[in-house]
Amino acid sequence: MVKSKEIPKAKTKEIKMTVSQEMKRDESNQRMEKAIHNNSSKNKYAGWFQCAHLVWWILCIGGMICTHVIAHADGPVRHILPLDILALKVFGTRDNLKVIFNLACLAHVFEAQYAIYVCTFQLGLTDSWPLWGIQTVLLGYPSLSLLLKRRTELDLIYAAKQAENKQK
């Protein structure tokens, strides 16, 4: 049987102090990270909402309405005849346009679900998530891109604050 060497008492005190200092530093860092997270702009702006530009509202909603009208019409649509002709040249038949319209609607719904997920679980936008959901259902990616841009900005701010606190 091998006997272990005894560590001198002075050395033991140094090790205990080092370990306790490390534990205190870790607790302090955890408290700081919690404080940063709680005071970060992610939670400070729970009601933050940015409306998409008017051009996107006109193009997206107008495009969806025109696609629906052209796809479900029995014959040429007189009021928007140039769009009717263009749509049929590009997509071939009205049945193809119906598929395109349904896929676009489905894409907008999935984008809105993702926008709500980003709002509630990643950004903490507890007050404005319904606005983001509605805007994204209506506009699709133009709305979602605003939200994702904000998420990237907040992640950079959070990372900078963490780096700043680690340096201190």
* % of the chain residues with pLDDT over 90: 46
Rounded mean pLDDT of 121-145?
Answer: 92
Give the model's confidence band at 126: pLDDT under 50 very low, under 70 low, under 90 confident, else very high: confident
pLDDT of residue 156: 85
Residue 126 — φ and ψ, nearest 5°?
A: -70, -25
The string of pLDDT tens digits covering residues 38-56 is 444 445 667 888 999 999 9
Tokens of 89: 């040249």
Residue 78: C-alpha distances to residues 73, 105, 159, 168 (Å): 10, 25, 56, 70
Rounded mean pLDDT of 86-110?
Answer: 94
The string of pLDDT tens digits covering residues 58-83 is 999 999 999 999 999 888 888 888 88
Rounded mean pLDDT of 155-162?
Answer: 84
pLDDT of residue 45: 65
